[in-house]
Amino acid sequence: MVEFRHVTKTYPRTHTHALKDVDFHIAKGEFVYVTGHSGAGKSTMLALMLRRIVATEGTVAVAGQDVARVPDSRLPMLRRHIGMIFQDHRLLGHLSAFENLTFTLRAVAARGNHEQRAMAVLRQVGLAHKRKAYPIELSLGEQQRVAIARAMVTDAPLLLADEPTGNLDPDTALEIMELLDDINLRGTTILLATHARDLVDSYKRRTLVLRNGELVRDDTRGGYSL
């Protein structure tokens, strides 16, 4: 599903090596953590997969496609297959939970009945009863559930999550992890960047550890260790 082949990313203006010769692959259906101190390269890794930036050296492939070779006109098609979950959820405040999902479906020109798909996903994350609520009317945990639903609504086979529990209390963070675990069990590949030691140790999955842009650990047994 994801492959990094000797990937280096350098920002020439600051001479910063965000990633250095990173090499790994993630199979379809895996749940993988990416951990590391702030500035270790986690956000750069996610940005490369989304083709927001391109590698200085090496190859980044998603679903068999070299993302650097995808023309700009085809980027929406690439990103249709990648769901992104942010720490601050980034919902559209003037739209209801339901409308945030249907807006996403329209934006990627998804086929099928948008309303039916949106409701089906809201039911899956346990928020069908909050379909008319605006983000400000939802708790932080509910907002993050809507954000996860938005990432799922296009039926993307790959979900990228950037600190999705960072703003949540421990109990709500646990609920979000249980939801992501359930999504993974249904066949979706998940790559989760996080500092949450307790969650990584509780839900042990394959763990990639970055340090100063280098991949220093790839442990199938999981567990938090920097």
Q: Give 11's strand partners.
A: 16
Average pLDDT taken over every residue of the chain: 91
CB 144 within 8 A of CB 166: no
The pLDDT assigned to 226 comes to: 66
Task: Tell me how far apart the alpha carbons of residues 45 and 212 are, in angstroms, rounded to a whole number.
Answer: 13
pLDDT tens for residues 185-202? 999 999 999 988 888 888
Counting runs of H as helices and runs of E as strands, what totals does the chain give? 7, 10
Could you tell me where the DSSP H helices lie in the chain?
42-49, 75-80, 97-107, 114-124, 140-152, 170-185, 197-202
Q: Which residues of the chain have pLDDT under 70?
A: 226
The pLDDT assigned to 170 comes to: 87
Q: Is 93 helix (H, G, I), strand (E, B) or coil?
A: coil
pLDDT tens for residues 16-30? 889 999 999 999 999
Q: Give 8's strand partners.
A: 57
Percent of the chain residues past pLDDT 70, beyond the cut: 100
Give the CATH fold of the 1-72+192-226 domain: Rossmann fold (3.40.50)
Spatial neighbors of 167 by CB under 8 A, at least 6 apart, are 87, 88, 140, 144
Strands 65-66 and 57-62 turn out to be antiparallel
Q: Give 162's strand partners.
A: 193
Specify the pTM.
0.89
pLDDT tens for residues 95-105? 999 999 999 88
Task: Tell me how far apart the alpha carbons of residues 163 and 161 are, in angstroms, rounded to a whole number.
Answer: 6
- Residue 110 burial (CB count, 10 A): 16
Q: Is 30 helix (H, G, I), strand (E, B) or coil?
A: coil
Task: Tell me how far apart the alpha carbons of residues 222 and 208 are, in angstroms, rounded to a whole number.
Answer: 8
